[in-house]
Amino acid sequence: MEFPQQLVTQISVPNNVPFAPGYDVIGIGTGVPQPLIDAGYPAAIIFYSSDYSATFPSPQIKYQFIAVKDGIINFGYAMVANATISQVESIVIYEAHGYTSDASQSALDYTTTGFVDADSGSIDNLSVATALYYQGTELTTVLNKGLDGFSSNPKGIVAFGSFTAQPTTAGTTELPIFYLDWTSRTNRLYKIRTGALYHQTAGQQAVFRIRTTGNGSTPTITSGILCSSGNLNQFQPGFCDEISSVGAGPTIGVRMVLTMQGVAGAVQQWIQAGQGRIYVEDMGQLVAGSGGTSPAVPSNYHSFNTQVIGSRSYYGNGVQIPGTADTWMYQGDIHDGNGNRRSWGWFDPASAGTGSGGSLNDMVGVSAANIDYLQLYLYYTHWYYVDSYGGSPAHNLQDCRFGWHNQAAVPPGNEAAGGFPNLYSLFWTGRNVGFWIDIKGTSLQTAMLNGSFKGIVLGNTGSADYEQYGYANGAGLGNMPRLKAGYYK
């Protein structure tokens, strides 16, 4: 078919669908995308597809096409690496048939054997007009990282030298034996190594070193030491072996010198099989250093360190003691007719406090075997008796008594149900003293792991002894109760 220029320049099927990416439509004519024109295809049959999305971040085909160039029928597609960054396509030819415009040239006829997908496939004789991409990155970038186009992969041995024994004798002053020059590149990791080194002097020790300036100048026996063999006895094999990133800058000439020195007297070098060796191996791109003097925190390690958000004290009959809201946390009997006092404290179950990634809520369901530590902090301002009160050691009995409760909210008035007091006791050394108490493996831990723990209970000692009467700091005071834990999840 031929149409007058003034009548039509584009035919698309179906004709009621926009001729654009994102629609299932086929067109023929001169409405060719600019990247295709730039690749040398001013006219083509274009196949758009609704599979294309301008918001898809991974590589996708924008359209497929059939076009003629220099007498060759080309089948190809336009690929967009990441449409959220740029929707400019790259042109890829995957099949071509025909002869070039020069009749003396042989026929061009190649096809792909298939497409490479996530599981399998292969492509033979692939021709790419502009660029080939791997996982959204241009393949040349993957293979040639760095401004100098130097591959990020290991390059193997990049410098090698060998030498024959002269023989060489060194005294207690270091003596150069052999020099080796090579080229270092920035952000590369190198292994520098010698063959086995020996000396043959009985009763003496020798040490071999590799020295360098790192800037291309000639090294001396006072230049920086890259590696050393340590002190070697007669015929004891030694090596100079080091992993290093030598030099700074895109490329730099490195000069190294191998030296020998007698530790206490003159020594004579001996080379097995008559030859010594030194080489430099490119191990690939430099890896950032890691590690430290203490173990790194595992990625599944959670912790929290949180303080009480509310506290209340109650008489023996459960009536709230006036003036104790978020102040003092009482325990014990002072013989005033109000019975054995006790107090409650509440923690925010969702708070990590000064910890990281953990909370009471987060710890629910964790295995007891995965608990690293679990501690409760209490600070007692007052005890009825203190150590050796009245000169008698009989009163050194001030005991902290504590348990837990399952009430999520602070009650507005009297004591609520759900408290489990007086489960554990701990001797306290005196007034104005705070301790971190290890509660790992206790019933408090069990309650935390099953989600029933909401806070602590102090007191209800069951004893009328003055020694067990005292009060700790509550939520509104300094040194208030705290709870901290570390665990794996």
CA distance 368 to 424: 19
The pLDDT assigned to 151 comes to 63
Strand partners, 228: 209
The predicted structure's pLDDT at residue 485: 97
The H or E element containing residue 483 is strand 482-488
Residue 296 gets which letter from DSSP? P
Partners of residue 314 on adjacent β-strands: 320, 342
CB 222 within 8 Å of CB 201: no
What's residue 104's pLDDT?
Answer: 44
Which residues contact residue 27 at a Cβ distance below 8 angstroms, ignoring those fewer than 6 apart? Answer: 10, 11, 12, 13, 19, 45, 46, 48
In whole angstroms, what is the distance from residue 153 CA to residue 143 CA? 8
Q: Are strands 276-285 and 188-194 parallel, antiparallel or unpaired?
A: antiparallel
Coil, helix or strand at residue 265: coil
By the 8 A CB rule, do 270 and 198 touch? yes
Q: Going from the N-terminus, what domains does the chain have, and what CATH number goes with each?
A: 10-139 (no CATH), 156-285 (2.60.120.1340), 301-488 (no CATH)
3-state secondary structure of 470: strand
- Type and span of the H or E element at 450: helix 443-450
**pLDDT, tens digit only, all 489 positions of the chain:** 454 554 445 666 676 778 778 777 777 765 788 888 888 888 888 898 888 998 888 888 999 999 888 778 889 898 888 888 888 898 888 887 776 555 444 444 444 434 444 444 455 556 565 666 666 667 666 665 543 445 667 888 989 988 876 667 888 889 888 899 888 877 788 899 988 888 888 999 999 999 988 777 889 999 989 889 989 998 888 888 888 775 444 567 788 898 889 998 888 887 665 578 899 998 887 777 777 777 767 779 999 999 999 999 999 999 999 999 999 999 999 889 999 999 999 999 999 999 999 999 999 999 999 999 999 999 999 988 765 444 344 445 578 889 999 999 888 889 988 889 889 888 887 889 999 999 999 999 999 999 999 999 998 767 777 878 899 999 999 999 999 999 999
Element (H, E) at 27: strand 25-29
Q: What is the pLDDT of residue 237?
A: 86
pLDDT at 12: 66
Kind and range of the H or E element at 307?
strand 301-314
Six-digit token pair at 267? 């020594």
SS3 sequence, 32-60?
CCHHHHHCCCCCEEEEECCCCCCCCCCCE
- Looking up tokens 């660029």 gives 131
Q: Is the dihedral of CA 437, 438, 440, 441 positive or negative?
A: negative
Total-model pTM? 0.47
**pLDDT of amino acid 248:** 45
Per-residue pLDDT at 168: 75
DSSP per position, 136-197: TEEHHHHHS-STT---SS--EEEEEEEE-----EE-SS-EEEEEEEEEEETTEEEEEEE--B
How many of the other CB atoms lie within 10 Å of CB of 214? 18
What pLDDT is recorded for position 235?
87
Q: Are 212 and 254 in contact (CB under 8 A)?
A: yes
List, in order, residues 6 or more apart from 348 with CB less than 8 Å away. Answer: 306, 309, 359, 360
Q: Rounded to an integer, what distance in angstroms lies between the CA atom of residue 226 and that of residue 211?
A: 5
